[in-house]
Structures are given as structure tokens and as C-alpha cells.
Structure 1
């Protein structure tokens, strides 16, 4: 545990053999995520709890949002974020080597929904019982962060799984307004989102993802429409644009280099795609960023 000048509290578990790291943070004025900054990737997924009844501002990938009071927010490893009042938050950050949500999706069923899902960002409201349950999990984390034995890592992973499962359940209740969103359909949507996260840099067509899911593109489009989601093609394009903007915000890569990273066969093709989806030229978009800084 680190506690400097009473200004923040940060507990860190690290397995030097595997590189696994779990960080629990409370009352920390510097809690943030740097995401894709100067070409560097931070490999930590994050779960943030606003325990205060008061809302607060948060910037995620240069877009301003309001995080409601008494709410939970999942954030993925390549996101930049900074909170207005981080001292009012408690958070857990973990890397792939500590717990891989993709490899263990059968245990927690969160990939493509809680993390890497359609809703960006997903603010999950917490009622009184939710806050109590989260408080119990937080206390168990605090107890085990001070236990320095060979079982510590496994106990902390068990608690993290409990936190993720609880968060996923609450998110499902919150999004249950779509009566067509059965568990079976949600699993297909989750699988699509996960496949997209793996392949969006190379594969831009719905037919590729439909084939991996053993569905026709039309069947997939109908499923998304039933659940009041954007079309699969729109979701693919939005994911590409999101990553393109991250490159423009946080790296010095040229438009040609970004297009190559995102699977476009020519700089001109990427430039046309970006303008069609955003209404701005690449150069104009980057100039606007420069003026903001």
C-alpha cells in the first residue's frame, strides 16, 4: 500500500513471475488512464465507482461526459480518461497477465458487453443494495491486499471476478428495456463485438463477421435491428473511426500511417472514409486538435 502525504491511497499487487498487476485506488487525485499516448499502450482495464451521490465530469478520448452519482463505469485499456474529482472515486485496474477477460469469458460473460460493448461509455446506476454489495467487495479487497502469502493472487482474482460478474449483472438489468434482447441474442451480439475488437484493423465487412458467427449478414442485421442497435456495418465503421481519432489525438502518425494501421489499401481511401464518416478532412481534424492544446 502507498499513502503519500495523506493525499491518496493506492494498493498494488504484482506477480513478478507472470507480470500480472492489480491496482486498487481510492482518494487519488491522479487517477487517470493514458490509453494510446505517444504511441504507448497502457494495458489495464478499469472499473470505476462513483460512491458519491454527486455527478462529476469525465473526459474519455477527448469527449466530455457526466458520470452520474452512485454509478459504475467500465473502461478498456486503450482509452484515455481523466475525472473532474477523482478523490470521490474508487477504482480497480488490472492487466491481461493478472486476469484476461477474453480468455476467461466463460467465467464472467462480460466481453462484448461490459467491456468492448456497443454502449460507449456505459454508466451503470447503483441502487442502495448495489452500493452495499460493492462495499462488501471493496472491504474484502482491502483485507486481502494486506495478505502477503502465496494464495493472495488467487484470492484477489476471485474477488475481481466477483466484481466483474456483479457489474455485468447490474448492466444487464439496466439495459433490459429491450424485450427482444434474450440471453441467446445477447451472446451473439457479444461475440460479434469481441470478434470486431480482434479483427477491425484488417476486416471491415459484415460478411466476414457473419461467417465466423455462422450467420448470414441479413440475419445479423435483423438481430441488431430487433434489439434497437445500430447496424453491424455502422458499428464496424464507428470502431474504425474511434481508433483513427485516437491516433490523431495521441500520436504523431501521419494519415497514411494511420490508414495502414487500420487496414486501408491507400491513404486516399482512408481519407475519403474518414471524411464521409466525420465530415472533416484528416488535416482539418488534426489542426483543430492543435488549436485546442
Structure 2
């Protein structure tokens, strides 16, 4: 598996400039034994959009964050923006991919999509096992959507939105069945806002009180609500997000510990190392060595 050198940035692909699935706001593509141009995908990178891939045939291997996946037949793979992904080798693809970005979700007709469990993906899952009935439904919907996508017309946008809503609603039901510990609830709006704020600011803001100010609530109220709604202290959400990013960089890049710590807002590399060991039980150097050894 390739890594990013210390003098390079982890590339970020927008939907419009994606090497395999280019589009504006929304895109989809059917692959039937095709080996697309994938050289850019063989190094760690991020996508700034939502990606759903229905794999009719498996056999390809890729890494999502620090987890290796061997694709399986008739399985749905999905991810949201900013996760680090890398393919191990170029292989032919059989299946259908669809993608949309945050601007697409912000359109008036699409706002409800952002609240669906499979789009929110609070479990940070990446695949759904599909039954024969699920496969039949997904294939039928994707075929209809592909037909609309390939034949632009006055009603194209509305038809795609309607079909996508039905497809993702159906898949959200499957998602909840497989990851049933998550039950959507309207009373978790503050938790969602808190998590969204952390996603944007975790490199610069490390204190619960500062997030409370961003969300216009008192620190005490934020701590109480987050603890009740998530079962974890509010500070744990910040620390877990920082650790996740540190793990990604230790695994996928050759950045020095000082560079990683600085990227995460630590002015002192030794402080970063103590923080990481406190949260994981390993120093950053030990974690990098262990994961590289496991991969080999």
C-alpha cells in the first residue's frame, strides 16, 4: 500500500474533478468489467462527497481509514466526506457507483436526504450485506436512475431526486437492521450539531466550553445533553475525533510525529505523544510501527 510522503498533502477529490466518477452535484456510473483510470486512487486520498457503490462482483481490496476491506458480491459499500481511502491495485469493476456532494443535499428538494440514517452514518459503517430481495430492489432502482441520468431532460432532476430518496430510504431501513443500536430521534439535534462543529473545528478547538459558545448554549447544558444523548462525556467526542485523524495520518502518511501533532493543534510533539498514548495505550511511534507490521 502506498503512503503519502512528508512533503506531500493528502489529495482531496471533489466530485467535479474525481478521476473515475466526475460530475456536478450528482453523478453515477455503471461498470461492467471495466478497469477505469485509477492511478490517482492507488495513493491515500479523501473525497469531499458521499459515495455509494453497489458491487455485483467482489474481489477488490481497499483501505478505508485504517481498515482493510475485501469487496464481496452483491454488497453495498458507502462512505461520507473526508474519510481516507486507498485502493491496493487497479482491478476491473462490476457494479454501479453513485455520488453526491453537500451542495446537492442543500438543494430544497433534497434536504430530507441529509437526515436519513445511512447518510448520517453515526455508526461510521462502510458496508451493507444485501439479501436477494435487497439486491433485486437496489438493482431495479439503480437501473431506473441510470436511465434518467443518461437521458437529460426537463424532469431529470426531479426523477433522480425521487428515485434517490426511495433508494436511500430503503437502504436506511437495512442500515438500521444491521446497525440497530442507532435509532433516529429528533431530540438528538444538539448532539448532531455538536458533532458537526467538531468535524469542522477539531484541529483548532479542543475545549467543550468553546464549542458551547459556537452553539450558543452554556457549557454545563452542552455537557449534560451530550452525555445523555450519546452516553459519553462531551470531551470524549473531541478527543476521539482527534485520535481518529492521528491514526489516519500515522497509517497513511510519512509525516513526522511533530508534523502530525502540529496539524492537530499541538505546539509540542511530546504533549501530542502523551495525549495519544493516554487515549490509545500506545505512543504514536508504537502505533505506526505496529500497524505497518500488521499490514506487512
User: What TM-score does the superposition give when structure 2 sets the normalisation length?
Assistant: 0.69
Partner of 2:97: 91
**SS of 1:121 mapped into structure 2:** coil
User: Within 5 A, what are the aligned runs for 1:278-289?
Assistant: 278-288=280-290
SS in 1 for 2:100: strand
Partner of residue 259 from structure 2, selected from 245, 257, 260: 257
Is 2:106 aligned against 1:108? no
Q: 1:43: Cα distance to partner? A: 2.7
Segment of structure 1 superposing worse, 102-111 or 72-81: 102-111
Aligned to 1:5: none
Alpha-carbon offset, residue 183 of structure 1: 1.7
User: Which residue does 2:65 correspond to in 1?
Assistant: 61
CA distance in 1, matches of 2:245, 2:174: 28
The runs of 5 or more residues in structure 2 that have no matched partner are 1-18
Mapping of residues 201-216 of structure 1, within 5 Å: 201-209=203-211, 212=215, 214=217, 215-216=221-222
SS in 2 for 1:264: coil
CA distance in 2 between counterparts of 1:33 and 1:130 reads 33
Matched, 1:14 2:23: yes
Tell me how far apart the structure 2 counterparts of residues 195 and 144 of structure 1 sit (CA, whole Å).
Answer: 36
1:114 is paired with a residue whose SS is helix
Q: Distance in 2 between matches of 1:91 and 1:253?
A: 32
The CA RMSD measured in Å over matched residues stands at 4.1
Instruction: Judging by fraction of residues, say which structure has more helix.
Output: 2
The 1-side partners of 2:275 and 2:247 are apart by 13
- The reply on whether 1:199 has 2:201 as its aligned counterpart is yes
Match of 1:163 in 2: 167
Q: In the superposition, relative to structure 1, how do residues 45 and 132 fare at CA in structure 2: closer, same or farther (>3 Å)?
A: same
Partner of 2:268: 266
Report which stretch shifted further, 261-270 or 68-77: 68-77
**Number of residue-to-residue matches in the alignment:** 270
Counterpart Cα distance in 2 of 1:203 and 1:35: 31
Shift, 1:271, TM fit: 1.7
Cα distance per residue 1:18-68 (max 9 Å; x no partner)? xx4524243445698978957x6433321122456x898653223235667
**Which residue in 2 is equivalent to 1:224?**
230
Q: Distance in 2 between matches of 1:33 and 1:100?
A: 29
**Unpaired runs of at least 5, structure 1:** 1-9
TM-score (norm 1): 0.69
